[in-house]
Structure 1
Amino acid sequence: MKRTVRIKCLNNNLQKEYPLGTTLQQVAEDMNIKLQNPILGAYVNNTLTELSYELYHPKNIKFIDITDPDGMRMYIRSLSFVLSVAVKKLYPHATLRIEHSVSKGTYCSLENIEELQMTEVLEIGDKMRELINADIPFIQKEEESDEVIKLFEDENQFDKTALIKHRGQVYSTYYTLDDYAGMYYGYLVPSTGYLKVFDLIKYYNGMLLQIPKRNQPNELEEIVIQNKMFDIFQEFAEWNRVLKVSNLADINSACNNGKAETLVKVSEALHEKKIGHIADMIDARNHNVKLVLISGPSSSGKTTFGKRLAIQLMVAGMKPLNLSLDNYFVNREQTPLDENGDYDFEALNALDVELFNQQLVDLLAGKEVEIPKFSFEKGERYYDGEKLQMDSDNILIVEGIHGLNPELTHLIPNESKFKIYVSALTSINIDNQNLIHTTDNRLIRRIVRDYKYRKYSAQDTISRWPSVRRGEDLHIFPYQEEADVMFNTALLYELSVLKPLAESILLEVQPNQKEYSEAQRLLRFFSYFRPLLNSDIPPTSILREFVGGSSFSY
């Protein structure tokens, strides 16, 4: 009698017996699962897997498409592999670097090519389409690590061999596409034919890989001009080249060879120098600037940055004052609602913009104002007698997600404002073809901080993250380029420090929780890092805001 296994599909809530070894692809076909877009993978007991996964035990499964965050990651990862193979076929001596996300796409460069031309970019794009139209399968292979290391050494992909050696696994997994090898720390889609929507265009000295819109995947994301953002990425890329640090293997090597202390000190010195430079920029405005607005997404280190900037402003002879936007929330009954009928505390109209502007006008005119307070417990405004007044040496620092939105300070003349965008713009990659997303960097910071200071579990933080990201997309990112200057709070060494702290928190997420898949993804990500103790981090570091031990009060 043939042995079977019971499978429950959460997409249609059906249960059915299948022969042992049945693949997820076969289950999807048998159950006639139809999603809005092609099925790319599935959650099996809350763990992401590929459609080739074979079933031998009872499982709950949920099929996903590109509209799921993991589905989008699979799509982009697979598209990156196609780009890599296209480059190898056309320019075998060139090194492709997939560097960072910008302008709603992924910026890529080619090393060992004198100057990338438009015709070459078009040629690479055409080769990608040729591979996609051929519908070639992505084949996952698992072999002894020594054999995989030799394979990548033969292809001069030493950025990958160093990571395989670091992990110390007996067997290692890699992918092939048309006899070309690639290594990825996440899953790929079944075949190249799934990747119809993309484009590759000339962008600065490299290329921009355009990707589909998540909620309208038959359309490309529209390019958003982000010259300032691109410049800050390039500035740090140049600095990394000077330090001879560009990939994770370089960080691990520094940790192994006793050079981590130097890496910490240089990274922190660069931060201090940049903050001092920003203070000098403000001072150079001949004291016309009276209002400094700091904005940035969650877990960017805005608070510590603001405190360090205040010190540098004092060095320049100014007397900074802080004003919190949290004081200006409207009463709960006036708070706008989102599309789900919930209070939208991140909407601009959740703040009393008119009162805020009028008090700014009065403060800049030298008048004394009574600052409102807001009770989050009662959902209402109150006053406790705190007053504020500015003199000629004072400068006001305001931090908040709406800081760069012109509507927030519409009564204040532009010459009186200095706007700063702050974010953790991760400047190293896992390897040449696997970037580290800035959103992951910030999520990891938040998991560690929320656990330490707010008693939130990793499950709590991960479950809230989509809502946080939605608020950023609506209220922060559209105004990035309004900034007078951008500051990158990412530190080269920080993920090595966060690794042991985050891992212990992530391990608490249980397999029966829907956040388990995301926790496991982050744990796999950290498996490539060598841990670093935080004893050498100075007490003024932005990282101290998340790991503790800061000399600032929060």
Structure 2
Amino acid sequence: MLTLTVENKKITCPFGTECSTLAENFSPSTSPLMAVRFNNEVLPLSWKIISNGTLEPVYLDSSDGISLYRRTLCFILAAAAHKVFPQKRLLIGHSLGSSYYYTFDDSPAEKEQIELILQEMRSIVEKNEKIQTQITSYGDACALFEKYGLKDTRAQLEYRCTKQVILNTLGTYSDIFQGPCAQTTGQIRFFDLMPYDEGFLLRFPSEKEPEKLGDFTDNPKIFEIYKKYKSWGKTVNVKNAADLNRLILTRKINDFIDITETFQSQNYARVAQQIHDRKNVKVVLIAGPSSSGKTTSAKKLALHLQALGYNPKVISLDNYYVGRDKNPKDENGNYDYECLEALNIDLLNQNLNDLFDGKEIKVPSYNFDLGQPYYTGETMKLGENDILIMEGIHGLNDRLTPKVKPELKFKIYLSALTQLNVNDHTRISSSDNRLLRRIVRDSRFRGKSAAATIGMWENVQKGERLHIFPFQNNADAVLNTALDYEIPVLKVYASPLLHAVKPDMPEFNDASRLLRFLDNFDQIPETYIPKQSIVREFIGGSSFHY
């Protein structure tokens, strides 16, 4: 018999008990039960308990619950598409609001094809089929993926040293395990397919409203950047983890790093040229989510502007905090430094307009220890070829600079949007990419553990959803700061940090998930990375001064 702690109560159960049979021990909830958290690891309801521990429910209205819902929905779509069109390769793309973009590898998706897949998905859900987690041998997994035509997944096994492979199975269809799914397909009730560009969108509920489909909000500028990078990935023949691992194994990764850095540099040059062509731009406002590379991007852009004859100057938005005595607080009573009202908007706008009128200003500073603004005596005046660069989370929000003429502003949105997939049906999350960057940077430069960074990540994302993402389409230009080789570099630093997160920590599940993700990639040593690469902002050794 095993002893489990459930909601501060001790219960006993036989060795090998399935988690679903223990659900009666959880307090009633209006939200559907999707999985369990056993010793801080999210597991499917079909999982069998074989040790003592703590058992908690995972409901749909939690971040873990909605992640599991989306993973299951993607799995149902893959199974449906394989049944309806067994000879076609379905490829997942990036996220677009509360949806994922999909394409066929050989031709645009037709409306009739999309409808057939949707009908099959609805049929699978209606039948309430069971989704099983199974373990198979390496050889059987290879044969299975060859049979199903999952070329990317099969190729990835060439670079994984494992004698067993975990699968998720639905009927006669199986795919490699990327995380737990719902116990049955009947739990996945809210979804739709919508034609979009050359493919379609798999739409799902938002975390805020997990039991309904909200309105679709398009982000055409983000999509165009993704489409451009996806086309580039095809051109250089690096589209997934297996392609990248092949380059590392064959010692051709140096060339790919150089190509990737050159391509990104060309995009910075293109944006600098856009600014120059506008003639009257006085201030460049750069915004992007956490760890999107805002600081390095500002420095790189400054170099390209200098090449065009400008003299860039920088004013930090951090200098304009109002001070703790005036700073708003959030719902928990903590100072909310991410809201727009935390900044002295009137002073910022007055300073900008004075600079643009040729006047000299006193540059404000802010003491983070005391929580007070102050002046150091630093002044600034703009010359004929001077241009301001300001980076911060509110750069795209026109409420930041309401008194500055629109023609004087150029707004740039940064996104770390890799075109790489793990395999055909598994995308690389931009959020996870940025989280890995931040885990490495926080450890190397701020003395934070991986658990501490993971623990505050949900609040960081909440701030992004409120203050950054709604303004993406206000940007005059979008820059993609992801580098398709960077995850194998980050792995060198992130893996030992993630291994230090223990099962008795709440962050253990996310650490385990990230480690499972990193297992798909080989490593690239730091010595291969150029000194001006954005990756250097996170691992150190940059030729830029931060």
For Structure 1 versus Structure 2, the TM-score category normalised by the shorter chain is over 0.9
Tell me what 1:24 maps to: 19
Is residue 122–residue 201 contact of structure 1 (8 Å, CA) maintained in 2? no
Whether the 8 Å CA contact 2:89–2:149 is kept in 1: the answer is: no
Residue identity in the other structure for 1:27 = L
User: Which AA in structure 2 matches 1:488?
Assistant: N
Q: Which runs of 5+ in 2 are unaligned?
A: none
Deviations 1:44-100 (A, max 9, x none): 111121111212322101110222222222111111111112112221221101111
Letter in structure 2 aligned against 1:537? I
Within 5 Å, which residues of 2 pair with 1:267-346? 267-286=260-279, 288-346=280-338
The answer on whether the counterparts of 2:89 and 2:105 sit within 8 Å (CA) in structure 1 is: yes
Q: CA deviation at 1:32?
A: 5.3
Q: Does 1:234 align with 2:231?
A: no
Structure-2 residue corresponding to 1:7:
4
Taking the TM superposition and a 5 Å limit, the aligned residue runs for 1:153-232 are 153-232=146-225
Deviation of 1:115 (Å): 3.3
Tell me the distance in 1 between the aligned counterparts of 2:77 and 2:178.
17
Secondary structure of the residue aligned to 2:218 is: coil
- Which residue does the alignment assign to 1:64? 58
Partners of 1:420 and 1:104 in 2: CA distance: 23
- Paired AA for residue 192 in structure 1: T
Label 1:183 to 1:373 Cα distance change in 2 as closer, same or farther (>3 A): same
**Per the alignment, in what secondary structure is the counterpart of residue 408 of structure 1?**
coil
Residues 23-55 of structure 1 show CA distances to partners (whole Å, capped at 9, x for unaligned) of: 1100113x2543332111111111121111212
Query: Which structure 1 residue ranges, 5 or more long, are not aligned?
Result: none
Q: After superposition, give the CA deviation of every residue in 1:161-187 in whole Å (9 maximum; x if it has no partner).
A: 222232211111112212012113211
Q: After superposition, where does 1:336-375 map in structure 2 within 5 Å?
A: 336-375=328-367
Match status 1:90 vs 2:78: no
- Aligned partner letter, 1:19: P
How far off is 1:447 after superposition? Answer: 0.1
For 2:39, the equivalent position in structure 1 comes to 45
Q: What is the letter of the counterpart of residue 45 of structure 1?
A: N
Post-superposition offset of 1:269: 0.3
1:434 is the counterpart of 2:426? yes
Matched position secondary structure for 1:531: coil
**Cα separation, 2, equivalents of 1:485 and 1:348:** 22
Query: Alignment partner for residue 247 of structure 2, among 236, 254, 261?
Result: 254
Tell me if structure 2 keeps the 8 A contact 1:105–1:221.
no
Q: Structure 1 CA distance, aligned partners of 2:50 and 2:389?
A: 60
Q: Which one-letter code corresponds to 1:8 in the other structure?
A: T
- Deviations 1:454-489 (CA, angstroms, capped at 9, x unpaired): 001101101110111111000000001100110000
**Is 2:416 the counterpart of 1:424?**
yes
Counterpart CA distance in 1 for 2:111 and 2:354 is: 54
**In 1, Cα distance between the equivalents of 2:49 and 2:80?**
34
**SS of residue matched to 1:143:** strand
1:397 aligns with 2:389: yes
What amino acid is the match of 1:516?
Answer: F
**Structure 2 match to 1:414:** 406
Residue 34 (1) aligns with residue 28 (2): yes
Output the CA distance in 2 between the equivalents of 1:505 and 1:381: 36
Distance in 1, matches of 2:85 and 2:27, equals: 41
Secondary structure of the 1:6 match is: strand
- Aligned with 2:516: secondary structure? helix
Partner amino acid for 1:304? T
Contact in 1 for aligned 2:66/2:210 (Cα 8 Å): no
1:419 is matched by which residue type in structure 2? K
The match for 2:124 is 131
Partner of 2:372: 380
- Choose the corresponding residue for 1:99, options 81, 84, 93: 93
Of residues 332-341 and 154-163 in structure 1, the stretch that sits farther from structure 2 once superposed is 154-163
Secondary structure of 2:399's match?
Answer: helix
For the 8 Å contact 1:104–1:222, the answer to whether it is kept is: no
Cα deviation digits, residues 289-334 of structure 1 (max 9, x gap): 0110000000001100100110110110011100000000002011
- For the 8 Å contact 1:496–1:531, the answer to whether it is kept is yes
Query: What is the number of equivalent residue pairs in this alignment?
Result: 546
Runs of 4+ in 1 over 4 A off after TM superposition: none
Q: Tell me which residue corresponds to 1:484.
A: 476
> What is the RMSD computed on CA atoms of the aligned residues?
1.1
Is 1:76–2:73 an aligned residue pair? no
- CA–CA distance in 2 between the matches of 1:394 and 1:312? 14
Mark the CA change 1:221 to 1:429 in structure 2 (over 3 Å): closer, same or farther.
farther
Using structure 1 for the length normalisation, give the TM-score. Answer: 0.97
- Please state whether the residue corresponding to 1:385 is helix, strand or coil: strand
> Does the CA contact (< 8 Å) of 1:102 and 1:226 recur in 2?
yes
Q: Which of 142-151 and 393-402 deviates more? A: 142-151
Q: CA deviation at 1:243?
A: 0.5
SS in 1 for 2:33: coil
State the one-letter code of the partner of 1:221: G
Q: String of CA shifts for 1:99-131, please: whole Å, max 9, x gaps.
A: 11013211111123x432223222211211111
Conserved in 2, the CA contact under 8 Å of 1:164 and 1:172? no
When structure 1 is superposed on structure 2, of 331-340 and 434-443 the one drifting more is 331-340
* Paired amino acid for 2:308: A
Q: Please say if residues 87 and 149 of structure 2, whose CA atoms lie closer than 8 Å, have aligned partners that are also in contact.
A: no
User: Within 2, Cα distance between the matches of 1:134 and 1:67?
Assistant: 24
> Is the contact between residue 184 and residue 434 of structure 1 (CA under 8 Å) also seen in structure 2?
no
Moved more, 16-25 or 491-500: 16-25
Is the 8 Å Cα contact of residues 98 and 205 (structure 2) preserved in structure 1?
no
Answer yes or no: is the 8 Å Cα contact 1:329–1:381 preserved in 2: yes
8 Å CA contact 1:503, 1:523 repeated in 2: yes
Q: Distance in 2 between matches of 1:133 and 1:489?
A: 42
**Separation (CA, whole Å) in 2 of partners of 1:33 and 1:146:** 44
The separation in 1 between residues aligned to 2:487 and 2:284, in whole angstroms, is 30
Cα distance in 1 between the residues matched to 2:37 and 2:67: 14
